[in-house]
Amino acid sequence: MSERRVGTGLIGGGGIGELHLKNLLEIPQAQVVAVADVNPEVKRAADACGARFYQDYGEMLEREALELAVISTPSHLHRDPVLAAAENGASIYLEKPVATSIEDLRAITRAVEERGVKATVGHQNRCDPRFSALRGMAMSGVFGRVFKVRAESSTGWGFNVTPQAWRWRRALGGGPWWQNGGHIADLASWVLGEPLEVAAFSGTYVLKTEAEDNLVAVVKYRDALAELATCYCLGVQKPVGLEVYGDKGYGAADPLLGFRAWLNIGVVKGAYEPEVAEVQPHRRLMELTVDALLNEKAMPIPLGAGVKACEVVLAGHESAATGRAVKLPLL
Ligand SMILES: NC(=O)c1ccc[n+]([C@@H]2O[C@H](COP(=O)([O-])OP(=O)(O)OC[C@H]3O[C@@H](n4cnc5c(N)ncnc54)[C@H](O)[C@@H]3O)[C@@H](O)[C@H]2O)c1
């Protein structure tokens, strides 16, 4: 690997931004040059990294010749930092969801294409070895004809969020379906391909919030269905789980029950537990992003995959509101 380091600026140093800073500091090929956040208290985090601090990300992008901008502003505030980063020639690590409206998805896609910058999306679950092992088994035909994927992200995170915060306001990218639905939609499409249609129901059963606290969707693919479920009011944490159903076997990576596969090749061979390495997916995705920039490789998770996940989320909300299935693509 080359000795050059990727000069990086962070935009949005809140919860996940702090983790990105920690990971960047641990990656020798990355250099944290600057941090931008409207909240002046974030300067402390910038100081701790020896990075310059800006309250205006536009100023940061103009002054610093950044190779990579890591964007982790609240979900409804992704478009303008992306446009500014692309305008200044910085490649982009964009937190999911790419955007919360069709207009912003279009503007982001156009800016990245027109400026010719590289972009990747924070769907770090693809870097979780349990999920990539399951997908690998599905792709290599071990499960036979895969006809269904189930993916769930159900947590009690909503209990800790004040209802006024952006995380509970649907238009701002709040609620479990915006926050976690994109992650599981991305995993389903990673295994099954192009999503074609979405039908969903949602409700606020436990927490009296503006956004739903519970949403279940069915996504139709060419030869398969995906069942996707998210909630924010579960009494335990089940952050992300994936199950793959085929006519020759079944595999599951469940946050509570672990990782197992059952194969039926003539006779039931029983369950076995594939060995997977312990990897921190956010850290791995950042490493792959830095490596892609240094060594002229494709970015690990294409922008188009993040856009596709947003389309499933938008269609799910529309279906839950109208009672009708919604055909994709929306863009
Ligand atoms: N990939 C994942 O698993 C994962 C996990 C958590 C959050 N996220 C995503 O990351 C994003 C941020 O989430 P969070 O939990 O860190 O939110 P947060 O509210 O904790 O942090 C957001 C930060 O952005 C700052 N900010 C707001 N407007 C800004 C602006 N105009 N310029 C610069 N900074 C600005 C805020 O002051 C805050 O520090 C969201 O899109 C969320 O969906 C992804």
Q: 17 C-alpha vs ligand 1 centroid, how far in Å?
A: 7
Maximum average pLDDT range among 113-117, 171-175, 256-260: 113-117
Domain boundary among 80, 97, 117: 117
Largest CA-CA distance found in the chain, in angstroms, rounded: 65
Q: 225 C-alpha vs ligand 1 centroid, how far in Å?
A: 32
Q: 179 C-alpha vs ligand 1 centroid, how far in Å?
A: 11
Is 283 contained in some domain?
Answer: no
* 45 and 148, same domain (yes or no): no
Q: How confident is the model at residue 49 (pLDDT cuts 50, 70, 90)?
A: very high
pLDDT tens digits, residue range 224-245?
999 999 999 999 999 999 999 9
Domain boundary among 66, 90, 117: 117
Q: 270 C-alpha vs ligand 1 centroid, how far in Å?
A: 44
* 97 and 140, same domain (yes or no): no
* 269 and 165, same domain (yes or no): yes
Indicate whether 322 pLDDT > 80. yes
Is 1 contained in some domain?
Answer: no
Phi, psi of 181 (to 5 degrees): -60, -40
Ligand 1 lined by 144 (C-beta under 6 Å): no
* 62 and 93, same domain (yes or no): yes
* 138 and 95, same domain (yes or no): no
Report yes or no: 244 and 229 within 8 Å, Cβ to Cβ. Answer: no
Looking from the CA of residue 39, the nearest atom of ligand 1 is: 37
* 98 and 138, same domain (yes or no): no
Ligand 1 lined by 30 (C-beta under 6 Å): no
* 99 and 42, same domain (yes or no): yes
A 10 A CB-CB count for 81 gives: 24
- Percent of the chain clearing pLDDT 90 (strictly above): 85
Is 225 contained in some domain?
Answer: yes
Query: Mind giving me the DSSP string for 185-198?
Result: HHHHHHHH----EE
Indicate whether 302 pLDDT > 80. yes
* 15 and 108, same domain (yes or no): yes
Distances (CA, A) of 136 to 13, 243, 254: 34, 13, 17
Helix (H) or strand (E) holding 245: strand 238-246
Q: In testing the pocket of ligand 1, which one of 55, 70, 72, 127 has its CB within 8 Å of the most ligand atoms? A: 72
- Residue 255 has a pLDDT of 86
Q: 158 C-alpha vs ligand 1 centroid, how far in Å?
A: 16
- Residue 257 has a pLDDT of 83
* 149 and 269, same domain (yes or no): yes
Ligand 1 lined by 36 (C-beta under 6 Å): yes
The 258-265 sheet, strands edge to edge: 267-272, 258-265, 249-254, 238-246, 146-154, 225-231, 214-220, 197-203, 326-327
* 150 and 59, same domain (yes or no): no
Looking from the CA of residue 178, the nearest atom of ligand 1 is: 43
Bridging pattern class, strands 225-231 and 91-94: unpaired
Looking from the CA of residue 166, the nearest atom of ligand 1 is: 19
Q: How confident is the model at residue 267 (pLDDT cuts 50, 70, 90)?
A: very low
Ligand 1 lined by 104 (C-beta under 6 Å): no
Q: 198 C-alpha vs ligand 1 centroid, how far in Å?
A: 27
Domain boundary among 117, 151, 175: 117
Q: Looking at residue 144, which CATH number applies to its domain?
A: 3.30.360.10
Domain count, the chain: 2
Ligand 1 lined by 73 (C-beta under 6 Å): yes
Q: 221 C-alpha vs ligand 1 centroid, how far in Å?
A: 32
Give the range of the structural domain holding residue 181, as residue numbers without chain letter: 125-278+310-327
From the list 294, 154, 145, 130, the residue with the least C-alpha distance to 215 is: 154
Indicate whether 213 pLDDT > 90. yes
Rounded Cα–Cα distance for residues 294 and 184 (Å): 30
| Paired tokens of 169 | 């306001």
* 84 and 203, same domain (yes or no): no
